[in-house]
């Protein structure tokens, strides 16, 4: 499973986008929950879930046309203080950052790499020991098509119970 860091281009009309993504398309979503780390996020219903990795830390979902993917996973973060989330906002090789934000226990970053847009988000849970993450990647030429999907999926990322989560955090 790839390491995830998220960034989301934030639409100007965020409220309207969320209404469209959650209202009109509500029947077109399904919830994915990772049993190991408790990470949960909404995924477009038509996207195909790929087989689990050996360590069962999450899943990759591929769009029906195969041009976009969403990765939802959890991982042990050691003990990461919210102020240390800044490292998740740094670009990887070949990436250009367009947006990044860090608040409390979460960080989000988005931008481009070549002709693709990426969005990565991480939410810490269990006193900073679990990183709940998602990543979305799609063709930059289809940005308007994916804006509402990115907004919905990013807003739906939640930590939760899993067998790999310390019992004291439940």
The residue whose two tokens read 């469209």 is: 20
At residue 126, φ and ψ (nearest 5 deg) are 55, 55
Alpha carbon distance 140, 132 (integer Å): 25
pTM over 0.85, yes/no: no
Which CATH number among 3.40.1000.10, 3.30.390.50, 3.90.1300.10, 3.90.1150.10 corresponds to the domain 14-163? 3.40.1000.10
Q: C-alpha angle with apex 43: 110 to 149, nearest 5 degrees?
A: 45
Chain Cα centroid distance, residue 104: 17
The ranges assigned to domains in the chain are 14-163
- Residue ranges of alpha helices (H) inside the chain are 14-19, 143-156
CA distance 26 to 170: 29
- Which pLDDT tens digits describe the chain residue by residue (170 residues)? 444 433 333 333 333 333 343 333 345 999 999 999 999 999 999 999 999 999 889 999 999 999 999 999 998 876 565 555 665 677 888 899 999 998 888 889 999 999 999 999 999 888 888 889 999 999 999 999 999 999 999 999 999 888 878 776 75
* Residue whose C-alpha is closest to residue 113's, from 90, 135, 140, 87: 140
């Amino acid at each position: 499973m790839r390491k995830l860091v998220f960034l989301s281009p934030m639409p100007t009309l965020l409220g309207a986008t969320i209404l469209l993504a959650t209202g009109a398309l509500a029947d077109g979503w399904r919830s994915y929950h990772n049993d190991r780390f408790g990470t949960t996020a909404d995924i477009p219903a038509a996207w195909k879930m790929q087989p689990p990795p050996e360590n069962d830390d999450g899943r990759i979902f591929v769009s029906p046309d195969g041009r976009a993917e969403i990765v939802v996973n959890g991982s042990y973060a050691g003990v990461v203080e919210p102020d240390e989330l800044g490292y998740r906002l740094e670009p990887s090789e070949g990436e250009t950052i367009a947006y990044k934000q860090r608040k409390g226990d979460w960080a989000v970053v988005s931008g481009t790499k070549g002709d693709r847009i990426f969005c990565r988000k991480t939410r810490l849970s269990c006193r900073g020991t679990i990183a709940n993450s998602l990543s979305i990647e799609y063709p930059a030429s289809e940005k308007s098509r994916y804006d509402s999907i990115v907004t919905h999926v990013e807003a739906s990322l939640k930590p939760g119970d899993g067998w790999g989560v310390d019992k004291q955090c439940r």
